Amino acid sequence: MSNKSLKGKLRFCISLGLALGTLVCPTAHGQETTAPVGKTQNLKDPPPPPELDAMMVPFRRARYHQFIKDASAALAKMDKPDPHILYWKATAERKVGQLEEAKQDFAPLGDFIAWPKYPTASSQVAELETMLKLRPDFEKDIVIGGKIVFKFYYSEENDHTRSIMKALPAAYLAASKLLNNQFGTVPVYFFSSREYDRFVKFYTLLDEAPHSWWQFLSSKCSITISQINAEGNPLWTHSLDRSFAHELTHVHFQRTLGSIPDFPNWFNEGAAQLVETSLDPSLLSTNDRRIHQLVQQDAILPLEVVASHSQFHQAVDSAQNGIQKGDPYAQGLNMTRYLGLILKGAKLSGFIQKVADKGSFAGAVQESAGLTVPEFYDEWFKEISREDQ
């Protein structure tokens, strides 16, 4: 980009409020959870309690921490735990990475299921036991301000382990300052270079089979790291604070927003990169140069590609394999910066709350900027094209 307008104006993003740096992509990659109220397979099982329908609203929106809190309060008032509430509580715990808690709650339920499409409690226990065996063996609590902020699981102590433990507090302080959130306790799993297969098995059970280039991931309100990826590339240690700040942004989104069906992946990744810029402002000028390059190469990707979680990552794979041009991450960061610009200084945390309240990314953009998302994309494309002339 040139030095005319965007290059200077977009730097508003690293001010103390991180103007509208963005938002979230939630848990189910934009797919809303559709868990039913409750239905037993065995006619001897009790029917679901009448209060469960209202209680399940946060669960259906993938706001699992809220559901766990509500379910725990309801169960505490009962002489005998209701199996439906306990089953859904355990399911929510698994979805946010509370593996021991989920196993403990599933265990007394035997072959009970709360809905036919879901696995039995006993099969969930078996799978959770496998995950706990695959999880790294050693655990260390990272305490900041008197609170356990991270539960760090690792298999051996080496230079990478020590670098991670050093980077976590800096990343937490940077991300929480900009996002105005304390995150709760975040599990962090680190697999050494000798444990790549173990990493793949664990992460596949936690979420999905990892792409060959993945090695620093956030899912289920936790962070998983592999010292190498399938291509044998080692983990970079010189920017671990940025990487953790990036993934903590995703964790914050998962906890705060749950599932927002129209949430675009360009904003999810762009926001996380924007938080990184608070630790390394030079990333902004790097992004300017990269967008200039993409415009020159006619390699700006269509909105539908960068909005979709699956198409976004397919485009990354294709670019890395030399199949097509384009850089979804660079484009996501630049689009997020431009959205912050047209929102005229709105704070990141405030915009997140607006998306959460409306349950719609498009609705929040329309209300805040007076534009549809396609109109916003067109405005951004015109701006980067002008800047390149």
Strand partners, 190: 154, 225
pLDDT attached to residue 232: 84
Q: What is the pLDDT of residue 321?
A: 81
Q: Global pTM?
A: 0.81
pLDDT tens string 98-118: 999 999 999 999 999 998 889
Q: Tell me the pLDDT of the chain averaged across its residues.
A: 86
Higher-pLDDT residue of 377 and 232 is 377
For residue range 79-96, list pLDDT tens digits in order: 999 999 999 999 999 999
Chain-centre distance for alpha carbon 329? 15
Half-sphere exposure at residue 300, Cβ-oriented, CA atoms within 13 angstroms = 17
297: its two tokens? 């190469």
Q: Is residue 37 over pLDDT 60?
A: no
- Could you give the percent of the chain with pLDDT greater than 90? 65
Q: What's the confidence (pLDDT) of residue 351?
A: 87
The band of 189, judged by pLDDT with boundaries at 50, 70 and 90, is very high
The two three-digit tokens of residue 220, written as one number: 């289920």
Give the pLDDT confidence score for residue 44 in this predicted structure. Answer: 61
For residue 42, give the DSSP letter.
S
End-to-end CA separation in angstroms for the chain:
9
Residue 269 tokens, joined:
């990744």
Is the Cβ–Cβ distance between 170 and 142 less than 8 Å? no
Cβ-in-10-Å burial (0-12, 13-18, 19+) of 277 comes to buried
* For the ranges 24-28, 33-37, 320-324, 325-329, the one whose mean pLDDT is highest: 325-329
Most confident of 182-186, 298-302, 383-387: 298-302
Domains of the chain: 6-25+260-387 (no CATH), 52-134 (1.25.40.10), 138-252 (3.30.2010)
Q: Kind and range of the H or E element at 260?
A: none
DSSP string, 74-107: HHHT-SS--HHHHHHHHHHHHHTT-HHHHHHHHG
Are the beta carbons of 370 and 342 closer than 8 angstroms?
no
Q: How many CB atoms lie within 10 A of CB 379?
A: 14
Which helix (DSSP H) or strand (DSSP E) does residue 223 occupy? Answer: strand 222-226
H-helix or E-strand spanning residue 147: strand 147-154
pLDDT class of 14 with cuts at 50, 70, 90: very low
- In order of 314, 318, 336, the CA distances from 376 in angstroms are 23, 26, 11
